[in-house]
C-alpha cells in the first residue's frame, strides 16, 4: 500500500488518542485539584461513561458492518463522530461555576456520556477500517505501525501540553479558566484530524449479506483466539491505567510538594518523552515484528514494561526529578509493542473468522474488542478514585501526609505487576503464527475462486 494512503488513514489516530485520553489526563487535575470535588465522585464520573461506551460499541460495530452507502460503511460515521467529539470536548471543561459539588459531578457525568457516545461513533469504524485495509500478514503490521506512529505523535506533542497550557499566565495560572479555552482548542484538533482521515481514506467493498447483532455477538464470543487476544490487551490496559493518574499526584505530593507549576511542567516533560520514545520505537517494532514474528516481539515488549514498574521506586526521586523521564522513555516503546502488534493480530483474527463464517466483520470484532477493553478501563477509572482515597490522599489539604505519599508510590509499583504477569502468561497461549495465517489466506483465496 502507498505511503500516502496509510498516512492519511493514520492521521485519524490523533483524534482517537485525544478522545481516548483527554478525560483521564485532565479530569483529576481540574475537578479534584482545581474545583475540590471528591476523587471518589470523579472516579464514578469517569467509570460510568466508560461502561456506557462499552455497551454502545457492539451496536456501532454492527451498524457499521451492515451499512451500504456510496461513501462506504466506515467513513461516514468517522466524519460525524469527529465533529460531535470536537464539540463535546469543548463542553467537558466548562462546568458552570454556580453549581454545587453534586451539580458539577452531574454536569461532568452527563457531558462525559455524550462525549464517549461521539467517540464510539468515530472510533469503532476507524479501527475496523484499519483491520480491513490489507490481506497481507506483514503489511498489516506496517499499517498499524503508521497508526501507532500518529497515535504516539499525538501523545508526544499534543496531550502533554493540556495541563501546561491550562496553567499559562494568560489565564492567571488558573487551571479552571485555562481549561475552558484549552478544551475548545483540543476539540478543534479532534474534528480536523478525524475529518481528514474520513475524507482521504479508502475502503474495500464487500458484497455480503447483513447480519443481525445477536448472531454477530454469538459468532464473535465463540472465537477463542479473539477472546484470548482481548484479554491480553485488557490486562495491559488495566495494569497501566490503574496507576497512570498517580504520576501526576506523585509529582504533586512527593517530587514537587504542592508546587502546581512545577508539577505541570514535569507532567508536560514526562508525557512528551513518553510520546517521543513511542514514535521512535515504531519503525523498530515494524521491523522486528516482520523479522521475528508478532508473538515473540510482543512478549519482549511486555517484559520491558513489567520490569519498569519495580524500577519506578528509584526513578521517582525528589532529589533527581529528571529520573522519572527514564521510566517514561522505556515504558512507552514497550507499550507500543502492544498497540502495534495486537492490532495487527486482530486483523489476522478477522481472517480466521471469515474462514468460519464467510463474512468480513471487522466492525463486530473491533467493537467487541473495545467493549471488553472499556469494561476493564471503566473498572480502572472507578478504582483510581478509590486508590487515591485508600492511599490517604486528601484533596482539601496542601501538604499530604507521609503515609499517603508512601502508599501512592507503593500502589504504583505493585498494582501493574499483577496484570502484566497475566498478560505475559496469556500471550504464550496465542496460536496464530505467520505460517498458520498463510494457510488461512490460501484457503480463503481458494474459496473465493470457487465462488
pTM beyond 0.85: the answer is no
Q: Cα 216 to chain center, whole Å?
A: 24
Contact assessment for residue 382 and residue 242, using Cβ atoms and an 8 Å cutoff: no
C-alpha cell read off for 72: 462506504
Reduced to 3 states (helix: H, G, I; strand: E, B; else coil), residue 75 is helix
Q: Is 320 helix (H, G, I), strand (E, B) or coil?
A: strand
Could you tell me if 267 and 21 are in contact, meaning their C-beta atoms sit under 8 angstroms apart?
Answer: no
Cα–Cα distance for residue pair 357/392, rounded to 1 Å: 53
Count Cβ atoms below 10 Å from residue 407 Cβ, excluding itself.
18
Centre a 10 Å sphere on the Cβ of residue 1 and count the other Cβ atoms it contains: 14
Per-residue pLDDT in tens (0 to 9) along the chain, 451 residues: 788 899 999 999 999 999 988 988 888 888 887 888 888 888 888 888 877 877 888 889 888 888 888 888 899 999 999 999 999 999 999 998 888 888 999 999 999 999 999 999 999 999 889 888 888 888 988 998 999 889 888 877 788 788 778 888 888 778 888 889 999 999 999 999 999 999 998 887 666 667 777 777 787 888 889 889 988 988 888 888 777 777 877 887 788 877 777 887 787 788 788 878 888 888 888 889 888 889 999 999 999 989 988 998 898 888 888 888 898 888 888 888 888 898 889 888 888 888 888 877 777 787 787 777 777 766 766 666 677 777 777 666 667 777 877 888 888 888 888 889 999 999 999 998 888 888 988 888 887 666 5
Assess contact for 109 and 49: CB atoms under 8 A. Answer: yes
Q: Are 106 and 52 in contact (CB under 8 A)?
A: no
Inter-residue contact 25 to 159 (CB < 8 Å): yes
Inter-CA distances, 17 with 11, 97, 164, 180, 199, Å: 10, 29, 18, 20, 19
- Residue with grid cell 480466521, as numbered in its chain: 352
Compute the distance between CA of residue 174 and CA of residue 94 in angstroms, rounded to an integer. Answer: 14
Amino acid at each position: 500500500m502507498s505511503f500516502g494512503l496509510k498516512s492519511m488513514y493514520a492521521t485519524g489516530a490523533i483524534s482517537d488518542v485525544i478522545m481516548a485520553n483527554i478525560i483521564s489526563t485532565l479530569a483529576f487535575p481540574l475537578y479534584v485539584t482545581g474545583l475540590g470535588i471528591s476523587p471518589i465522585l470523579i472516579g464514578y464520573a469517569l467509570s460510568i461513561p466508560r461502561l456506557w461506551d462499552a455497551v454502545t460499541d457492539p451496536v456501532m460495530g454492527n451498524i457499521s458492518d451492515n451499512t451500504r452507502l456510496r461513501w462506504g460503511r466506515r467513513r461516514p460515521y468517522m466524519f460525524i463522530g469527529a465533529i460531535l467529539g470536537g464539540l463535546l470536548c469543548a463542553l467537558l471543561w466548562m462546568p458552570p461555576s454556580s453549581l454545587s459539588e453534586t451539580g458539577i459531578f452531574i454536569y461532568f457525568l452527563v457531558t462525559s456520556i455524550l462525549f464517549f457516545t461521539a467517540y464510539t461513533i468515530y472510533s469503532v469504524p476507524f479501527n475496523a477500517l484499519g483491520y480491513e485495509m490489507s490481506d497481507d500478514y506483514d503489511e498489516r503490521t506496517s499499517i498499524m505501525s503508521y497508526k501507532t506512529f500518529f497515535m504516539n505523535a499525538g501523545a508526544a506533542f499534543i496531550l502533554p501540553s493540556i495541563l501546561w497550557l491550562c496553567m499559562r499566565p494568560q489565564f492567571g495560572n488558573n487551571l479552571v479558566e485555562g481549561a475552558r479555552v484549552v478544551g475548545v482548542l483540543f476539540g478543534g484538533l479532534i474534528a480536523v484530524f478525524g475529518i481528514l482521515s474520513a475524507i482521504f481514506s479508502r475502503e474495500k467493498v464487500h458484497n455480503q449479506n447483513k447480519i443481525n447483532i445477536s448472531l454477530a455477538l454469538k459468532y464473535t464470543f465463540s472465537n477463542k483466539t479473539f477472546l484470548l487476544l482481548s484479554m491480553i490487551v485488557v490486562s495491559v490496559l488495566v495494569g497501566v491505567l490503574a496507576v497512570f493518574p498517580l504520576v501526576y499526584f506523585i509529582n504533586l505530593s512527593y517530587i514537587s510538594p504542592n508546587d502546581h507549576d512545577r508539577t505541570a511542567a514535569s507532567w508536560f516533560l514526562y508525557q512528551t518523552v513518553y510520546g517521543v520514545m513511542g514514535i521512535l520505537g515504531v519503525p523498530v517494532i515494524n521491523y522486528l515484528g516482520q523479522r521475528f514474528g508478532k508473538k515473540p516481539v510482543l512478549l519482549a515488549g511486555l517484559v520491558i514494561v513489567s520490569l519498569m514498574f519495580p524500577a519506578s521506586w528509584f526513578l521517582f526521586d525528589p532529589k533527581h526529578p529528571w529520573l522519572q523521564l527514564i521510566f517514561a522513555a522505556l515504558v512507552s516503546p514497550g507499550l507500543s509493542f502492544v498497540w502495534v502488534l495486537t492490532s495487527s493480530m486482530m486483523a489476522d483474527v478477522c481472517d480466521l473468522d471469515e474462514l468460519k463464517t464467510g463474512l468480513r466483520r471487522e466492525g463486530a470484532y473491533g467493537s467487541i474488542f473495545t467493549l471488553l477493553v472499556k469494561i476493564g478501563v471503566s473498572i480502572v477509572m472507578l478504582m483510581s478514585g478509590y486508590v487515591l482515597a485508600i492511599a490517604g490522599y486528601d484533596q482539601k489539604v496542601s501538604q499530604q501526609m507521609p503515609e499517603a505519599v508512601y502508599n501512592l508510590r507503593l500502589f504504583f509499583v505493585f498494582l501493574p505487576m499483577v496484570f502484566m504477569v497475566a498478560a505475559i502468561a496469556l500471550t504464550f497461549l496465542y496460536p496464530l503464527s505467520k505460517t498458520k495465517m498463510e494457510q488461512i489466506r490460501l484457503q480463503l483465496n481458494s474459496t473465493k475462486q470457487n465462488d
